[in-house]
Structure 1
Amino acid sequence: MASQHPAAPRQHAPHAHHHDGPRPDDTHLAELLDLDAEVLHEQLDGLTAWAAELTDGTPPRRILDLGSGTGTGTFALLKRFESAEAEAVDASPQLLQHLADRARALGLADRVHPVRADLDTTWPAAVGTVDLVWASASLHHLADPDRTLREAFAALRPGGLLLAIEMDSVPFPRFLPHELGLGRPGLEERCHAALTHRHGGDLPDLGSDWGPRLAGAGFTVEAERELAVDLRAPLPAAAGRYAQAALQRMRGGLDGSLSAEDLTTLDLLISDDGPESVRHRTDLVVRTRRLAWAARRPSS
């Protein structure tokens, strides 16, 4: 989907934020984003199919991906709309390089235009008029998302479409059985609660109802969708690596917030080897919930 957590929630989508140079963890973030798209590919395919339904008769020729991360949304849209080109906007040079390398490997370099820009500072001048704006897991990371929505409205041609995909109030998927915990079940629930308590103030717009905010920017909201995922065995081959990458990012924000026993159990889970490692467990699940809004700039 898109790039995504202070030590947890913001790590799950910092792509739309400013940072002065390459972040040392962007390589790990790129892996997580690519694994997210691989494991949740049916959800991504469904979203691009929805975009095709909403643009039936006038398929987009110019697409703008806000907070593109590694380009998973960009490439899915270009696969769906074979005559389109895309502007992929992100603040991270590492993620944009990853995206550019992937575009070349897919034979899409002539259809993908990476644009480095901090959406909290200024709208990218390189972006002209577009037919479709895609904002996946990026709006809630912006300091002033309402301003960015107004900018996106101005960039859309009359009748153009914006798709906003956001997480609910829990930024990470759930992977672990409830009974897991060293003598005390509910380890994953405690991890999520600790991160929300410790870093909730950093992401005040996480879990927002974006419908009224889209309307406030001038859009007509045409539809909303809830995207619930509940994958159980047999899971996709990459599910163990996906769980490990996500839990590793969570772990970075949990020191001092969980008991020593919980942290020890979590370290065993995110290790590469051993029977407790999520890479080798057979009782994993992948459960997440995302929300999507389709909004259009009025034709007149």
Structure 2
Amino acid sequence: MAHDHLIEMLDLDAEVLHEYVRDLIGWVGREAADRPRIVDLGAGSGTASLALARELPGATVTAVDIAPEMLAHLRGRADAAGLGDRIRTVEADLDQPWPDLGPTDLIWAASSMHHMADPADALASAFAALRPGGLLVIAELESFPRFLTGTVDEDVELRGHAEAAKRRHEAGMHMHENWGDRMSQAGFTSVTERHFDIDLRPPLPASAARYAQVALGRMRHGLEGRLSPSDSAALERIVAGLIARDDLSVRTERTVWLARR
């Protein structure tokens, strides 16, 4: 069930933030080789794999993830979209020595690098996997989506985000790294950085309310025992009533780095 909700949240993230995804894929496509061989690290539910295969003619994608449930979902989506012959899946733990992924023109790592146990080792593996001139793309969250800005429930959501940030820090996640510097240290050149400030205001489509419901529901579940009883109860009430609200917004920040081997 936990994987089901994560899959749904990742799919909704791409649906609700489709303009950001389209802008990012377009930018990467202009920089990538013709008919690139792409590796999607930590591919999750497959949104990026499908978008890259769809938007870059002739591209083939190897989607790598540690979770077989994610890869099964991804394969189903690829087949349904008629892209199954251009997307293959590989189950692998990227904190271990990487499998042979074949000649690679583009490595895509969206919201996956911060999970790596040793970022320097992961970047060295990426450098080794790429052909000379190949492209590494790292996209990371500067802030997780906020849905209740300017509403009476804003403070509860902010306290939840603050506690979730502490939990990620305790878990050793590499949030807010300067990935551009790390890429340069790993031997990459021509590092380019872009910041995306996403601010979607009401009225929003029904998918945004469901996105908020799944995201805040996962927050509440993940912070069980860490929030005050009053904040936990407030989040439960908020989640239950999100679908009927018309005051939701979606605010988040993403930073993307491109670099060449």
TM-score range, shorter chain: over 0.9
Corresponding residue for residue 127 of structure 2: 153
User: C-alpha separation between the residues in 2 aligned to 1:251 and 1:202?
Assistant: 17
Q: CA deviation at 1:29?
A: 0.7
**2:37 is aligned with 1:62:** yes
SS at 2:243 equivalent: coil
1:242 aligns with 2:216: no
Displacement of 1:179: 4.2
Match 1:177 to one of 129, 135, 149? 149
Report what 1:8 is aligned to: none
4+ residue runs of structure 1 moved beyond 3 angstroms? none
Secondary structure of the 2:11 match is helix
Q: Is the 8 A contact 1:34 1:72 kept in 2?
A: yes
Residue 270 of structure 1 deviates from its aligned partner by 1.5
SS of 2:202 mapped into structure 1:
coil
> In structure 1, which of residues 49, 58, 62 is the aligned counterpart of residue 26 of structure 2?
49
Which ranges in structure 2 are unaligned for 5 or more consecutive residues? none
Identity %: 48
Contact 1:175 1:285 in 2 (8 A): yes
Matched, 1:193 2:193: no
TM superposition shift of 1:108: 0.7
Task: Give the distance between the partners of 2:43 and 2:126, measured in 1 at CA.
Answer: 14
Structure 1 residue aligned with 2:202: 233
Name the structure 2 match of 1:27. 4
> 1:75 is matched with which residue?
50
5, 12, 15: which is aligned to 1:38?
15
The answer to whether the 8 Å contact 1:140/1:204 transfers is yes
* Cα RMSD after superposing both structures: 1.4
Indicate conservation of the 8 Å contact 1:120/1:142, yes or no. yes
1:259 Cα deviation from its structure 2 partner: 2.5
Q: 1:123 aligns with which of 98, 113, 120?
A: 98
Q: Residue 278 of structure 1: SS of its match in structure 2?
A: helix
Kindly state the Cα deviation for residue 79 of structure 1 after the two structures are TM-superposed.
Answer: 1.3
Q: Greater helix share, 1 or 2?
A: 2
Partner of 1:17: none
Shift of 1:233: 1.2
Contact 2:184 2:191 in 1 (8 A): no
Q: TM-score, normalised by structure 1?
A: 0.84
Choose which of 221, 235, 239 in structure 2 pairs with 1:270. 239
How many aligned positions are there? 261
Q: How far apart in 2 are the matches of 1:31 and 1:64?
A: 22
Superposed CA offset, 1:155-190 (max 9, x none): 11111111100112x3x2000134424xxx611111
**1:215 correspondence with 2:209:** no
On the 8 A contact 1:221/1:293 being kept in 2, the answer is no
Counterpart amino acid of residue 242 in structure 2: V
The 1:204–1:34 alpha-carbon spacing in structure 2 relative to 1, beyond 3 Å, is closer
**TM-score (normalised: structure 2):** 0.96
For structure 1, the 5+ residue unaligned runs are 1-23, 272-276
User: Post-superposition shift, 1:52?
Assistant: 1.8
Q: Name the CA distance, whole Å, in 2 between partners of 1:60 and 1:153.
A: 20
Q: Secondary structure at the match of 1:149?
A: helix
Q: Secondary structure at the match of 2:222?
A: coil
